Amino acid sequence: MTRLALALTAAGILVALVVPTALGKGASEATITGPGLGDGLSLAGEGQVGGDRTMRIAEAAGFFPAVYGQTPNPMLGARPQGDLGPRYTIVYVLPGPSGGADRLRQELYPYAEPCAVTHMAKGQRYYGMQRTVGGWFLGCRTLEDLLVRAGLPATPPAGGSGDFPWTIACAVTAFLVVLSAGIVLGVRRSRPGPVVA
């Protein structure tokens, strides 16, 4: 029993030392890309002018529980139902333990109804051998408002969608069918008819 208590205490001390160090560094920068943003939006990192806005976006997007885990766990059990609207991506650049940098990707669905939603893939590596917890998170209107203030359009861009563009695929398929039919008809008409003696 004493060994178990010592092991748990040592693990607790290790977590108390390592996790705050990782959290304390924060993102050195972040970039949001997606419909209507052109080359994307660059967000200042921790300690820079505007870096506090990036931290608020990260908090509202569920970055911390998605990366480090949290109790109680605020992450959703599965993807929310329905159309989530246009998908954006935010890439956070985190300082690594050896002077390098780690990039963590999070998908943003700011116009989802009734609330903005985010998703982070499980297992992204950061700070050496640490891995993201991942999952879906309900960001609600706070996240949408913060993203709009950062430069996202106030309303969803026309034609933007987080899902595969089936309308474009259907239009291309229809065009190819008509083109093929035209080629076949053209070949048939260009063949010489039977010779009449």
Q: What is the pLDDT of residue 189?
A: 58
Q: For 27-76, write each residue's pLDDT tens digit.
A: 778 999 999 898 898 887 666 666 688 889 999 999 999 999 999 999 99
Least reliable range by pLDDT among 70-74, 140-144, 161-165: 161-165
Split at pLDDT 50, 70, 90, the class of 15 is very low
**Amino acid type, 22:** A
Q: What is the pLDDT of residue 46?
A: 63
Q: Which helix (H) or strand (E) holds 107?
A: strand 101-109
Domain boundaries, the chain: 15-162
What backbone torsions phi and psi does residue 49 show, to the nearest 5 degrees?
A: -65, 125
Split at pLDDT 50, 70, 90, the class of 170 is very low
Exposure of 80 in the CB half-sphere (CA atoms within 13 A): 20
CA dihedral 173, 176, 177, 183 (to 10 degrees): 180
